Amino acid sequence: MGELGTKADGRRQKADRLIVVAFGSNLGQRREHLLGAAEQVGRLFTYFTLSPLIETAPVGEGLEHDPPYLNAVGVGTSVRSVREIFDALRAIEGAAGRTRPYQGAPRTLDLDLILAGDEVIDEPGLQVPHPRFRDRLFVLEPLAAVAPDVVDPVTGLSARELLEKKKAGA
């Protein structure tokens, strides 16, 4: 959970923590899907910024003939629970026509909760940090562009360091 702060009247309140969300789309109006989702995701946070959009090839065995992705990373602050944010992201995906017919299927919109402050969560259907983000240039590059100093609570490495490590092949 986020740290507790103190209001002017002495009551305790949950402090904002940094939330990182990865955005992807490889079906339909990809740019519009991402920008529309970014507007909705931004409403969940106190502060929000979106990285530049990048085009990437699909990653995974058997996906090489799928359409290319547009990807981005959004970074914001929130006092909302991780579960509340995750559920809101799923609802935004659903409203954009996201279906999950099989692993790696092309999608109108993919929203992945990457980081939530220093929280480490491993529950059925919810893992934070996202278990594969450290291996994905399409997440690390835009993340390092907008929040190079954000730290992965599992490795203790910053986004910049994770990107350098990935590019070095380590």
Catalytic residues: 98, 107, 110, 112
Taking CA 124 as the corner, what is the angle to CA 57 and CA 71, rounded to the nearest 5 degrees? 20
Q: Are the C-beta atoms of residues 152 and 129 closer than 8 Å to each other?
A: yes
Return the bridge partners of 122, or none: 127
- 29 CB-near residues (< 8 Å, 6+ apart): none
Query: Could you tell me which of 102, 105, 154 has the C-alpha nearest to residue 133?
Result: 154
Buried b (16+ CB within 10 A) or exposed e, 110-144: bbbbbbbbeeeeeeeeeebbbeebbebebbbbbbb
